[in-house]
Each structure stands twice: as C-alpha cells, then as structure tokens.
Structure 1
Amino acid sequence: MTTYEIPRPTSGDVVDVILDDHRLFETLLRELRSSASDREAARAALSEVLIAHGEAEEEKVYQQLRRKHAIGEEEAEHGEEEHAEGNEALLQLLECTGTDTQKFDDAVENLATLLNHHIGEEEQTILNPAREEVSEEVRAKLGADWLARRNELLEQGCGSVEQVRVIVERAHQEGVLPADEEE
C-alpha cells in the first residue's frame, strides 16, 4: 500500500504553515477523486493531517489570535464549528467500506465541499487578520507551537476511525454540533 508522506516542519510563520496544510488537503482530495490513485492511502493521510491540523489550530492558534485581538470570539467559534462539521463528514468517509462505490464518491464530495468552504473562509477571516495584525515574531512562535502540537498528534496516529468518532461525539456533547436526531 502506498503511503503519502505528510510533511512535518518544526518552524515557520503560522499563516504560511497553515496554508501549506490547506494546499495538502486540496491535493489529497484530488487523489481521493481519482480512480488511478491509492484512495485508501489518500484517505488515511487526509484523516491524519486534517485531525492533527484542526485540533492543533483550536488548541494553539485560535485562542492566541483572540488574545492578540486579531480575530474575535465569533470567528474562532465559527472556525471550530466548521472543523466539527468537517470531522463529521470525514467520519462518514472513513466509515465507507470500499473506495470504489458511489457512497465513497459522495462522501468525498461532501467532505470536499465543507473543507473548501472552510479553507476559503479561514484564509480570509482568520489568516489575513493574523498576517496583518500580529507581529512576525508572534506568528513565528505560533507557528512553532502549532507545528509541535500538530506533529505530536500525527505521531500518535490521530486519524483512526475510532479517534475521529470520539472527536465527533465530543463535538455533539459540547453542543458544537447539533445532537443526533432520534431514529
């Protein structure tokens, strides 16, 4: 089985390293759409980097940007809600038993729609203000902190279906995602 190499830089401007991950998400989504690629490996890589990215962002970046007044509470909360929605869509993708079914293709497109929306919005409403309102020194510190946490999560293998289930359930319990409807 082919595995995708997930870059693990240890330093950089937080805006630049987050943007690098956004471009990686787009590449992996293209791989998931292609019947000629190793879809299973692309799915595993996307799950790992997407979970590590989002969890580290919420822990290390959003809070600090709020403290620096680069973003408001609303932007941070909205980003967290979109992470939760993306994680829920990721779980649906991970729960597909095969990679050559319509269910898989639909799950890829659902995740891609949510992820592309989030990437665009985050780049405009969080990363642009961070670039404009936060000093280079602070962005470098945030980048190192975010990367350290992201890389730690990647080393732990954070993107298994079981772990994504736990993250999605936590979002439901905390009210970030609406409660599951009764069957």
Structure 2
Amino acid sequence: MSTPIDLGRPVSGDVIDLILEDHRRFEALMRQLRDSSSDRDAVRKALSALHVAHAEAEEKHVYPKLRRKDAITEHEAEHGEEEHAEGHEAMLKVLELKGTDTQAFDDAVEELATALNHHLTEEELTILNPARDEVGEQVRAELGVAFATERNKQLDADCGSIDNVRRIVREAEQEGLLDDEDDEE
C-alpha cells in the first residue's frame, strides 16, 4: 500500500490487542478526515486500506475461530460481517467524491463515522469481551499472528483501492449483506 500514513505492521500479539490498536487507528484517521487542514485525500486512502485489511483479516481468521471456540454465535459473526459491508459501502461514498472540501464530502464522512463508530463499539462489547473470557492466551496469540499476517498481506495488495472497494461492495450486495439498512433498528 502506498500511503504516507503509518498504519502499523504488527506481526504478532494477542489478537484482541491488535484489533483494539486498529480501532484506535480508525478513530485517529476519522479525526484527521474531519480536519479540513489535513491531507484528506491521503487520509481517506489510508482509512480505506485499513478498513478493508482489518475486516478481511477478521472475517477470514478471527470470527470463524471465535465461533469454533463458542466465544461468539453465528449471528454475532454474521452481524459483524454485515457491519463491515456497511462500512465498506460508506467508505466507497467517501472515495468516490472528487473533492474533499465540499459539503457532500463532509456528509459522506459523517455517514462513515456513524457506521464505523457503531461497529467499533458493538464489536468491542459483543465479540472482543467474550473472546477475552472464552479464549485462552495461546489461541489469542496464534490468532494474532494469523490476523496480522492477513492484514499485512491485504495492505500489500492495495486492498483499499477504489476498484477493490467497489468489488467488495458489489459482492456484499450479491450476498445480501446490504439488503435492508433498517432491518437491525
């Protein structure tokens, strides 16, 4: 990924700590994206890369392992994937805007912030807390290596490119992950 913004390149650690580190990165990048004096174009590209890499690593390694360990239910894993899809969709709207100094951009950033903040909070409460209680340190460490490896692989593959985010959103629509915005409310 060619971004001047440091997204971190962990190679190991407790998966819960690694996920939380990314959550704090999301929050910092969102603050920068709201700041009209920042390089908003670079920030949105970095945020997109982190969002996709993080989601792909969770969906490929973390959620399935936590389900097998009965730390989370199938519904919780599916709901996390739906929220990732909603975040990708909101991220795509931010990426597709030409300028970063318009009301449309600010509105798209607000929509992204809403989706992202909701997901971070819910994931920390309903997925990470049970993982702390139900999954041993060794498994969390093994999962940390798998998560970090996949995350870095995704970043190296330019996973946050607008074309890739479009593809991911299209696939999510086909899988029914983006059917009804109001079905959970």
Q: TM-score range by the shorter chain?
A: over 0.9
CA distance in 2, matches of 1:175, 1:21: 27
Matching residue of 2:183: none
Give the residue type in structure 2 aligned to 1:86.
G
Where does structure 2 lack aligned partners over 5 or more consecutive residues? 181-185
Matching residue of 2:42: 41
CA distance in 2, matches of 1:175, 1:36: 38
Give the residue type in structure 1 aligned to 2:78.
E
Matching residue of 2:124: 123
Matching residue of 2:164: 163
CA distance in 2, matches of 1:151, 1:6: 10
CA distance in 2, matches of 1:146, 1:28: 21
The percentage of aligned residue pairs carrying the same residue is: 62
Give the residue type in structure 2 aligned to 1:24.
R
Superposition RMSD in Å: 1.0
Q: Map Cα deviations across residues 118-170 of structure 1 (whole Å, 9 max, x no partner).
A: 00000000000001110000000001001100000000110011000000000
TM-score if structure 2 supplies the norm length?
A: 0.95
Where does structure 1 lack aligned partners over 5 or more consecutive residues? none
CA distance in 2, matches of 1:95, 1:88: 11
Aligned residues: 178
Give the residue type in structure 2 aligned to 1:125.
T
TM-score if structure 1 supplies the norm length?
A: 0.96
- Equivalent residue runs for 1:72-91 within 5 Å: 72-91=73-92
Q: Map Cα deviations across residues 53-101 of structure 1 (whole Å, 9 max, x no partner).
A: 0011000100000000000001001000000001000000000100000
